[in-house]
Copies of this chain bind each other. A is one copy, B any other.
Amino acid sequence: MLHLYHLKNSRSFRIVWLLEELKLHYPIDYQLHTIDRDSKTLLAPESLTEIHPMGKAPILLDDTLAVGEQSMAESAAIIEYLLTNYDTKMQFRPSEAKLWRDYVYWLHFAEGTLMPPLVMGLILRKSVKKSPWFVKPVAKKFTTAINHAVLAKNITKALAMIETTLDKQPWLAERFSAADIQMYLAVYGAKLANKITSNHPNIQAWLVRCEQRAAFVRAKELAGEPL
């Protein structure tokens, strides 16, 4: 039996979606442990460190593995584990050399390139909001400068590259793959941060294509909104 620890509105949505794509069904093939964010910090509750030392979702627990080796973390590593063990027909990880390269690229790109500036922007915005009134104006100016000098530039480049890719093909590695699942959450995060504009018609259409998949709809019923 698989156990997925899912933090509401978080990266772990990806794993629910992939489990459903793989036709592993709740509650027959996996248990879903949905966890609320800490009401004060809005982060994962400290108790999650009991399941995995980093205390972050997703955590996948496979109780057929040896004791002490059952809990796994990092979205993309969990994706690779599930594909290796359950994607017997190689439906979600292409085997052709070119498509495999694209798959691996986008799988790493999501957390390696696109998420860091988005998360940094989010942390800065939240921190400005929480600042005392006499700090706020300077903090706002300070974070705006960082946004201009570093974050916006990287996010714009990343989205332009995704847009170009999706102009040539419907999915990031031509056919639908787990790279689309890994990337969806990052791109959806960009959308919530108002970074997806009229310059990105292909990205907008791809987001809709993702959201219309039966497994995505089912994941949303089970796990709630992706972010």
Q: How far is the CA of A124 from the CA of B139 in the complex (A)?
A: 12
**Complex contact A150–B138 (CB within 8 A):** no
**Complex contact A164–B53 (CB within 8 A):** yes
Judged by a CB distance under 8 angstroms, whether A90 is at the interface is no
**Complex contact B113–A115 (CB within 8 A):** no
Q: Convert A49-80 into 0s and 1s, putting 1 for each residue whose CB lies closer than 8 angstroms to a CB of B.
A: 10001111000000000100100111111001
Known contacts A54-B113, A120-B120; decide if A77 and B142 are in contact (CB<8 Å): no
Q: How far is the CA of A135 from the CA of B55 in the complex (A)?
A: 36
Judged by a CB distance under 8 angstroms, whether A158 is at the interface is yes
Residue from B66, B75, B100, B161 in contact with A53 in the complex, judged by beta carbons closer than 8 Å = B161
Known contacts A74-B112, A127-B145, A142-B139; decide if A81 and B101 are in contact (CB<8 Å): yes
A contacts with B: majority SS:
helix
Binding stretch for chain B, among A23-31, A102-110, A191-199, A202-210: A102-110
Interface size on A, residues (CB 8 A): 50
Chain B residues near A123 (CB-CB < 8 A)? 120, 146, 150
Q: Which of A85-139 contact B (CB under 8 A)?
A: 98, 100-101, 104-105, 107-109, 111-113, 115-116, 119-120, 123-124, 127, 131, 135, 138-139
Chain B residues near A120 (CB-CB < 8 A)? 116, 120, 123
* A positions within 8 Å CB-CB of B: 41, 49, 53-56, 66, 69, 72-77, 80-81, 84, 98, 100-101, 104-105, 107-109, 111-113, 115-116, 119-120, 123-124, 127, 131, 135, 138-139, 141-142, 145-146, 149-150, 157-158, 160-161, 164
